[in-house]
Structures are given as structure tokens and as C-alpha cells.
Chain A
Amino acid sequence: MSTPASNGPKSAFNTFNLVAGAILVVGLILTVLRFTQGIGPVTNLDDNNPWGIWIGFDLLCGVALAAGGYTTSAACYIFGLKRFHSAVRPAILTAFLGYALVVFALQYDLGRPWRLPYPIFVSQGTTSLLFEVGLCVMLYLTVLFVEFTPAMFEWLGWKKIRKVVVKLTLVLTIFGVVLSTLHQSSLGALYTIAPSKLHPLWYSPYMPLYFFVSSIAAGMSMVIFEGSMSHKKLHRMMDEEYLKHHDGVVFGFGKAAALVLFGYFFIKTMGVAYDNNWHYLVSGYGLLFLTEMLGFVALPCFLYAVGVRDRNLSLIKKASIITVLGIVFNRFNVSMIAFNYHLPAADRYFPSMTEIGISVFIVTLGVVIFRFITTRMPIFFEHPDYKGDH
């Protein structure tokens, strides 16, 4: 999820654990503050800016970056690209953790978090795109959990139930892709209701499509990025099978990401043309838009393409970092920077330290749990009892 800063977990008091521990303690304090003082005192949110980085980063970026789960499993199980098999489990785990943390982070942003199940069980606001997001995220989280359970069952040694779950793989995968398509795009569709608030360069009736397509690129880049991260830090947990296919996965996804980014660049340009928004490009926001489009879409697309052609692993990894940052940048633009662009500067939103603190806390939590699981369960390696059982 992010960069764990450690060299090896030899002692319980290594740098990583210390830093992570400190962040977690601060996060807990902030959590207490949030639920005793209310959202007002701990955030810079106000009546003009009801959504801040807890939505812009934790939800929008979290969901987009957890797209690795459905892209990888689709590539492996649906498109039959078996060499991605070793990458599926880490991707599913990341996705599961990502979504779980998104839901966790939402608890901070929601006014009455315990009512989160209300839209599904108490009062269904079916005209709302947020309802669609909620329903899909809930179902997908369940799907991801079930998809992840084999690793857990292997760790626990429950063979029978594992077998049942493994048989469901294809159904789960298709279900997962459907749900992901729906809610990834719905996150973009959330903003289609506010054409008057979002800058015309970002607003488009095609926003659902933009969000969906960019999430594919984000998912694949995240798998590459996170794979290379784990490769370095969790090398000892990886088996030969994983290591053997790792480079292949990187090249495969690199190639695909280059294509998807190219397509994404193309449809975004079409969107500008469709609404005839060219004249906005010369404004300050135009500069921002061009930075996003050229620096974070066209550039990584090019780097990916070159990296795949030259079999240059490090170039692909760089491209993946830029893409991941680009997705974050895009989601920030849509949800915060280009949102409420019509308001005077004094009424604009900038996150408070507490808000940032909570987000950092949640990311750290994710990394810690990821480490906990990957160092124990068969994620980067195949469980010796189930070798070749796929």
C-alpha cells in the first residue's frame, strides 16, 4: 500500500515497527478526538466543502488502487493467462485490505457510522449512485473475502472447505469483475450530479467510463508497484514459483497498462472535444489538466511501452509509480482541486493536519496488516500441501 521503511524484521523494535507504532498511536488519539468532538473541529470540512481527503483519498484513491484484485484475477482466470497465477493472491489480498480499509476510513467521514448498513437493509435510496457504490462495495468486499479465504484455510489446514471455495473461483471472479466495473464507474458517476461545481475540463457525462478505465490502469500499476515493493521487503516469503513468474507478470501488465493508458488518454481527449472545452486549456485549470494528462497519463503510457519493448524492468516500475501518483492526482482533482472551482479562494478546501493524520494512520494500518498476513499465510508462496493444485 505504501512504503514500509524497514530493512528486515529481525527485531520487534526495528525502524518500521517503531514508526508504524508511533503513527498508530497518534491515529488512535485522533480517532478518539474525531468521535468525541465531531467532524467539525478535526477537519477543514464545511458546508461548501462537504467532502475532503477522507473521500478524495481514502475512498476514491483507495478503491481505484485496489483495482489490482479484479484485473489480476480476471487476467488469470477469465483470460486464461496462467502465468499471472502467482500474482493473484497478493493482488486479492491487497484488494481485500484496500476495500476493508476504505470501509474502515468511511467510519470517520460518516456522521453516524453505525448506520452504514442502512442503505442496504433499512431504506434503499435506489436513485442514488452512492447506493450503487455502497451495494457493490459491500458485495465485492464479500467476494474478495471469499476469494482470499483459501489462503487462510491453507494456513489453518482446513482442506475440505478450501476445496469448495476453490471450485467457486470462476464464478467469484466474474462476479467480482461485474461488481468492480459497476462501482469503479459509479465513483465517477457520483460527480455527474454536480456539473455546476466541477470544472468543465474534468466534468463529463463520461466520467463513469473515465473512472472505470483509469481504475484498470491503476490496478495493474499497483500490482507492479506493490509487487516490486514486496519483492524487496518480503523476498524471504516468496517461493520459486512466484519469483519465476514475477518478471513475466510485470511485462504482461506493463504492456496492458500501456494500452489502457493510451485508450484512457484517447477517451479523455474525446471528452474534451465532445463538450468543446478546448478554450479552457489555456486557463490556470487548463495547465493543471495538461499536467495530469501529459505528465501522468501520456508519460507513463510511453514509459510502459518503451519498458516493455526494451524488457526494461526498472523503467516499467517507474512508470507504475507515475501511474499510481497520476490516479491519486486525478482523484484529487475531481474531488477537491477542480471541485467547487467557482468559489472564491477563501471558501476553498485544504485538508487539516488531523485529516491527513487519519489518512496516514489508515494507510499505515493497511501496511501493517499486509505484512502480518504475508509473513504468515501462503500469499507469495504456494502452500506445500497444495502444490500444483490449480
Chain B
Amino acid sequence: MLRRTFLGMLGAACVGASLPAGAEAAGKEFKGYPGSKGVLFDATRCIGCRKCEAACNKVNKLPKPEKSFDDLAVLDERRRTDAKTHTVVNKYGTPEHPVFRKSQCNHCLEPACASACFVKAFKKLPNGAVVYDESVCVGCRYCMVACPFEIPTYEYDEPLTPRVMKCDMCAARQDKGQLPGCVAECPKEALVFGEREELILIARERIRRNPDRYVRHIYGEDEMGGTSWMYLSGVPFKEIGMREDLGTKSAPELTAGALAAVPMVAGLWPVLLGGIYAVSKRNAKVADEERKEAVENAIAKASAEAEKTLSDALEKADVANKRQIEVEVKKAVEEALKPVEEEPEGSDEAGNSEKEES
């Protein structure tokens, strides 16, 4: 029994040992790679020309859209990124004072998609970009569930080789020293590319110099643990379709608790369960022994009584005649043995009776 419990523990410990890597990553605060790049979007500067969308389409060699990028009427409806569009600009505010907001992957410092991916298809590069590797992607779409900004999209029409599609901050262009496509094309510098730390200073300076033009908040500085793509706006961020209730906890922090529990369960459960097994087994054994003892006692008592009856009878036989004695003795022995014969049967039954006990 002990050996079995030990084996069980060993087996569970193996699972435990293979899992806790996730728990290690949790708990510590990560504030981005030093010198990593980012983009600052300034909604007060965006004019909604869709040049960024066109540039994105071009540099990523995405399929041509139905309506040309010069058609600004599409801004009247709310759009989101899809498998053929890595970035969209939406129009908010009043017709007299429209406010435009570009949306694309925000390249979180600790990306929810990367933390959620069970094949490590997403990676945060030291240059700030969150990139996707389709060669390992299984297509489970947990990244899409996890992303708080609703950015990753999926090639639903692809029967066998669907990919998750999203902006990769033009990581390949960055390597060649080029700006991301959208940033390069923005005519109003509503998008500024640079070191994230630098961008935060620029953003603060803009707010400081024009306190009446900006909401005093840099969206993305702390949201979801911070993002590489950040936003400035003249109207509350809620009004330009950005959620203000995301909090500052990064995705890995949210799942850290559940992941940290894994090795604990794997380690503790076998001990507990083994213990319970041992205790219940022991209880059953003790109960068995007690029953056995009770039965033995009963037998002993019955034999003693039988013997006593026998000796009593023998005493009486002294005064009775021999024949009578013989008859009496025989009778007494028979009487005494009767319960003894019955007892062994009873003990068997007791041994099996545990099944019926409830």
C-alpha cells in the first residue's frame, strides 16, 4: 500500500514538475524591454484620411478592399480589424467636430495573446513588436478571447491553413531601419514612432503645453500593464471607443493565481488522497479486526460455557448411574458444540458484511 501511494505521488510530481514554468513568470512586474519602440497616436491630430490604412494594406500585401481607401464614406460606420485589415480608423464625436481614432494591435508590454497562446506563436520582440508565428499556430483562437483590445483576427474562410492576423508593428521594416507603414504615411504626424520612454515624455510635454487641448491621460502608459502603442486624445477615451475599465493589471497577472495553484495541486493532492486512502483502508482493517476479535471472544466464551456445563454434568454423574452419565455427557457435549459450529459461519458473514454496511 505504501509503495502504491508513493508511486502515485511520484507520478503526480512528474506532472507538477513539467508545469510550473508559467508560475515563475507571474508576480514580477515587467515594464517593457529597455529602448523598445512604440508609436504615439494623437487623436487631436488625426484627420481621418485613411492614408495609414492604405499604407498598411500595401506594405503587408493584403488583398485590395472593396471600396478604395480614398472613399471616406466608410468612416461613417463602425469598423474593426479583420483578417484583411490590420488597422482601421473610426470616426467618433459630432458631425461638426469629428474625432478620429486609429485602431490596431497595441503591442502590450506583456501581451495577453502571448500569455494565452499554448504554442508560443506570439512573441514580444525586444524592439517592442508583438509578432505571430504561423508555423506553430494550431488555430485555437484563445488569443482572440484573451485580447482585451479585440485586435487579433482570424482567416475564417481558410479551411485548412487559417492564420491569426494582426498588426506586427512592421517588425520586418523596423529591422531594415524603416518606419512602420502607417507611421511613414501619416500626413499629420498623428502617429509618432520612437522609443516608448521617449514617446511618453513627448506625450506629457504635449499635454503640459496645451492643457486645454488634451485629456490628461496617456492611454496605454499603464493600461493592461502598459502598451507600446499609446494614445492622446482631446475627448474622454471612452468617447472614441476605448475601454477605460481595463485596469492596469497585465494579462499574465490575471492568470498568475490559477497557474501558481497548479504545482500546489499536483504536489498536495496525491498526499491528501493517499492519506485519505490509507485512513479509510486502516479504518476498514481496524473494523475487521474488531469484528474478528468479537467473534473469537464469543467462541471462547461459548467453549468455556460448554466446558463448564460438561464439568457440572460430570459432577452430577458421580451421583447418577453410569449409563445415565453417558447419556447426559453426550447431550451436554452436543449442546455445547452447537453454538461453536454456528460461530465460524457467523464470522465469515461478518467479514463480508462491510459491503452491506452503509
Q: Measuring CB to CB, which residues of chain A are less than 8 angstroms from any residue of chain B?
A: 34-41, 43, 45-48, 50-51, 74, 77-80, 82-83, 109-113, 115-116, 118-119, 122-132, 134-136, 139, 170-171, 174-175, 177-179, 181-182, 185-186, 189-197, 205, 208, 248, 252, 342
| B273-306 at interface with A (beta carbon < 8 Å) | 273-274, 276-277, 280-281, 283-284
Smallest Cβ-Cβ distance to A39: which chain B residue: B156
Contact A78 B118 (CB under 8 A): no
Q: Chain B residues near A127: list those with CB within 8 A.
A: 21-22, 25, 114-115, 252, 255, 259
Say yes or no: A50 contacts B141, CB within 8 Å. yes
Q: Are A125 and B269 in contact (CB under 8 A)?
A: no
For the complex formed, measure the closest distance between the CB of B21 and the CB atoms of chain A, giving whole angstroms: 4
Secondary structure of the B side of the interface?
helix
Closest to A339 in B: B145
Cβ contact within 8 Å between B355 and A182: no
> Contact between A48 and B150 (Cβ–Cβ < 8 Å)?
yes
Give A47 to B15 CA distance when docked, in angstroms: 35
A78 touches B358 (CB 8 A): no
Known: A111-B155, A111-B158, A132-B22. 8 other contacts (CB 8 A): A41-B156, A43-B156, A47-B153, A48-B150, A112-B162, A178-B269, A196-B246, A205-B257
The 6 closest A-B pairs by CB, nearest first: A111-B139, A40-B156, A80-B280, A189-B258, A50-B141, A50-B144
Q: Quick check: A194 and B148 within 8 Å, CB to CB?
A: yes
8 examples of A-B residue contacts, CB within 8 angstroms: A37-B157, A38-B159, A48-B80, A50-B142, A83-B358, A128-B22, A170-B4, A193-B254
The chain A residue with its CB closest to the CB of B283 is A80
Contact across chains for A39 and B162 when beta carbons are under 8 A apart = yes
Residues A35 and B355 in contact in the complex (CB < 8 Å), given A47-B144, A194-B148: no
**In the assembled complex, which residues on chain A have CB atoms less than 8 Å from the CB atom of B245?**
196
Shortest C-beta distance, A113 to chain B (Å), equals 8
B314 within 8 A of A: no
Q: Are A130 and B136 in contact (CB under 8 A)?
A: no
A126 touches B19 (CB 8 A): yes
**Are A174's CB and B138's CB within 8 A?**
no
Q: Smallest CB–CB gap between B80 and chain A, Å?
A: 6
| Interface residue from A51, A116, A185, A194 paired with B141 (Cβ < 8 Å) | A51
**Contact assessment for A47 and B277 in the assembled complex, using a CB-CB cutoff below 8 Å:** no
- Assembly CA distance A78 to B112 (angstroms): 39
